Each structure stands twice: as structure tokens, then as C-alpha cells.
Amino acid sequence: MQFDQLRRREFITLLGGAAAAWPLAARAQQMKLPTIGLLGGATPSAQAQWTAAFVQRLRELGWVEGQTVTIEYRWVEGRFERSPAIIAEFVRLKVDVIVTHATPNILAAKQVTSVVPIVFPSAGDPVGNKLVTSLARPGGNVTGLSVQSSELAQKVVDLLRDFLPKHSRLAMMHHIGNPVTALQTDAVKAAAGRFGLDVAIVEVRRAEDIAPAIEALKGRADALIVPSEPLYNTNRIQINSWALKAQLPTIYFDRVYVETGGLMSYGPNWPSLWHRAAEVVDKILRGAKPADIPVEQPRTFELVINLKTAKALGLEVPPTLLARADEVIE
């Protein structure tokens, strides 16, 4: 009899403990983790380094994917006409913050929602493109990091003059549909004009336009400027291949192009921008408002030169330029 009573008490205790745990488990399942909607302008593989830097910094700040934060990934692969629908999807998912880059993506996000915070890890001239009111006081629901690509254009022209002092014909790819490329084009023309250099603007609307555009420059240009842009990033290996066939030296704003065969690049350390964007997201998830977070600018710029590509093009890199390079790929 005493044994039966003991077993009965154990069973009641066990049942009571389980009953107490059930509501806790149910509440845990119902708790929604903070959610980040990340819209990449290129492809997952093309942006792997950037995304990894972003996720790593989030983890360091206590936002562990799948445990303390959820990240919804989407990719437009350079097709910006898809951006508004994806941003609308993020709004329906009730994400807490949208992270995206490339001016068309950011503009689409701003047009779709004036409520959900938007953070851009990189944007060319956000004031000129009316993404923010000013760098110091962004206003509205948008903030992030500015690349100031117009200033980059000036530096790129200077580097080309140092590399190819006897050449005067430049070409630049201009992606129709990305507002920042118009500003970049104007900046390159202005910089080149001061030195009496000609600039041929090659307009591109889609990936299929790139190959014939480069082919048409053969014998008509001494160097090709390719800005950092999701459509070009997605097709960077092909661009380098076509440029090499046309014996056309290339200069980019992003080292990732040079790592895959481009000649030279000058620009910010892009993974570091995404690293810092995670810090902005952290502030917002902890209660800060985008309007109160100043837009930051790059802290360091890198000059990268690919000697293997220079040799394939029959070019000798000036020693003074090699001495200034942050990295030389051999």
C-alpha cells in the first residue's frame, strides 16, 4: 500500500512538472525572433565575402542566426525590376529591418515602405540620389554607409593616367536603370576632361549586352572602367574574359574583379563595409532610429593589381604604381 502511494505521488509530481513546462514551451514557440530581410543585388556566390562579414559581425554582437535572429535572404542577380516585389514580401513578413545595397534596391525599398528601417551597406552618393537628406542627419527610415563613388571615379582616372600615360581613349560601362551610374559617368567625364582624355560611354541594360559592348571597343579604347554594380559583379568572370580577348585593360572599384582576372581595382574594402553595416543593424534592433544614425563613409581604400593579367595584355606596370599597391596578385 505504501509503495502504491509513493508511486502515485511521483506520478502526480511528474505530471505537474510537465504541465508547468508546457506553457513555457508553447510561449517559446510563439516568440518571434527579430528578423532581418537581406536583399542582395547580385548572386549568393558573388556576394559570399560580404554576407559572411555581415553575419560574422552580427554574431559577435550577440545576434546568432537561427538562435537570436532570423535572416531572410533574397537575390535579384542584377535584375532590379524584381526589387519592389521582394521588398513588399519583406514587409508582409514583418521584418524588423531591411538590409540592401545598390541604389535601385535602396530606392525600391524606400518607395515600398516608409516605416521599416532600411540599412544600406554601400550606396553611391546617397545624398545626390535622395536616399537620405544628409550624411549627418539621414532623416526618415534609411541609413547606412556611403561609398561616394563620384570621388572614386576621380581617383580611377588618376590611376589610369599613371598606368597608361601615353593613352588617351577611355571607355566606361554605364548600366541603364541604375541611377548612380549616371553620377559616376559624369564624374569620370569631368575628371578625364581636365586631362584632355576622351571617354566613350558604353550603355548596358542586361547581361546579354555586355559581350557585344566590350567587343565593339576593340581597337577603339585604351582602357575600360567598370564600376561596382550587381549586374557586373554577377558577370565579372565573363567580363574579364571578354576584355582579355579584346586586349582591353580594365580597372574596377572592387578588388573581387581583380581576384578573378581583372587588371586593377581601387575602392573601399567592401567586406568591411558590410561588417560595419551589421553594427548599424545592431543599433536599430536595440531601439535606435535610422534617422538618428549618421551615414558613415569608408575608412580605407585598396589598390590591387593583377600582374598575371598585365603580362597577358603585354603591359608593364610602373614601379611607382606597384609600390603604392596594397596587394599585387602574381
The pLDDT value recorded for residue 31 is: 72
The pLDDT value recorded for residue 12 is: 45
What's phi and psi for 40, nearest 5 deg? Answer: -90, 140
- Lowest mean pLDDT segment, chosen from 16-30, 122-136, 285-299: 16-30
265: left (phi over 0), alpha (psi -120 to 50) or beta: beta
The pLDDT value recorded for residue 30 is: 53
Q: What is the mean pLDDT of residues 39-55?
A: 94
Q: What is the mean pLDDT of residues 9-25?
A: 44
What is the residue extent of each domain of the chain? Answer: 35-147+269-299, 149-268+302-329
CA distances from 142 to 255, 272, 287 (A): 27, 20, 15
d(CA 110, CA 141) in angstroms, rounded, equals 8
Q: Give residue 187's pLDDT band: very low, low, confident or very high (50, 70, 90).
A: confident
User: In DSSP terms, which residues pair with 36 in a beta bridge?
Assistant: 71, 97
Task: Report the percentage of the chain scoring pLDDT > 70.
Answer: 90
Per-residue pLDDT tens over the stretch 198-225: 899 999 999 999 999 999 998 899 999 9
Residue 5 vs residue 237, higher pLDDT = 237
Domains 35-147+269-299 and 149-268+302-329 share a fold: yes
Q: What is the mean pLDDT of residues 40-55?
A: 93
d(CA 330, CA 318) in angstroms, rounded, equals 15
Q: What CATH superfamily is the domain 149-268+302-329?
A: Response regulator (3.40.50.2300)
Q: What CATH superfamily is the domain 35-147+269-299?
A: Response regulator (3.40.50.2300)
Highest mean pLDDT among 38-47, 50-59, 160-169, 203-212 belongs to 50-59
The pLDDT value recorded for residue 26 is: 40
Per-residue pLDDT tens over the stretch 54-94: 999 999 999 999 999 999 999 999 889 999 999 999 999 99
- Lowest mean pLDDT segment, chosen from 126-140, 148-162, 207-221: 148-162
pLDDT at 228 over 90: no
Closest by Cα among 206, 151, 148 to 175: 206
pLDDT, averaged across the chain: 88
Q: DSSP character for 294?
A: P
Q: Give residue 102's pLDDT band: very low, low, confident or very high (50, 70, 90).
A: confident
